[in-house]
Amino acid sequence: MTVSTHVLDASLGTPASGVPVTLCQQGDEWLDVESGVTDADGRYRFAADTPSGTYRLRFATGPYFAARAVAAFYPEVTITFTIPESATGVVSTTGHFHVPLLLSPFAYSTYRGS
């Protein structure tokens, strides 16, 4: 499995470029898997293989808004999600999960994309 994200700044109606994002996997503790920064289109595709399990995406939204001199309520947004095993109980080794983030200074939303 692979994971990608797309951050959109809903207050501007534009992609949120330059947002640092980290993919973490839950084990005994949360372990950082890979970090990157959204591109000019607000996208980042993680290269890491992600087998079934619980993951989170951690977005550093505070610096993104601070760089634009915008007061914001959330210095960080964390989205926790599960990559399930297949219906047969066998871990799927192919496929993709897309986790978009719609962001504004005082609110955010997310969904499982395609």
Q: How far is CA 70 from CA 6, 36, 90, in A?
A: 21, 22, 47
| High-pLDDT (> 70) share of the chain, % | 92
**Domains along the sequence of the chain with CATH:** 2-110 (2.60.40.180)
Q: Specify the higher pLDDT residue, 1 or 45.
A: 45
| High-pLDDT (> 90) share of the chain, % | 87
**Are 99 and 21 a contacting pair, CB within 8 Å?**
no
Q: What angle do CA 41, 7, 63 make, to 5 degrees?
A: 100
**Are 54 and 25 a contacting pair, CB within 8 Å?**
yes
Q: What is the pTM of this model?
A: 0.90
pLDDT (0 to 100) of residue 97: 93
Q: How far is CA 73 from CA 38, 66, 83, in A?
A: 21, 11, 29
Q: Please give the mean pLDDT across all residues of the chain.
A: 93
For 61-105, the pLDDT digits (tens) are 999 999 999 999 999 999 999 998 765 555 555 589 999 999 999
Distance CA 86, CA 93 (A): 9
pLDDT (0 to 100) of residue 88: 55
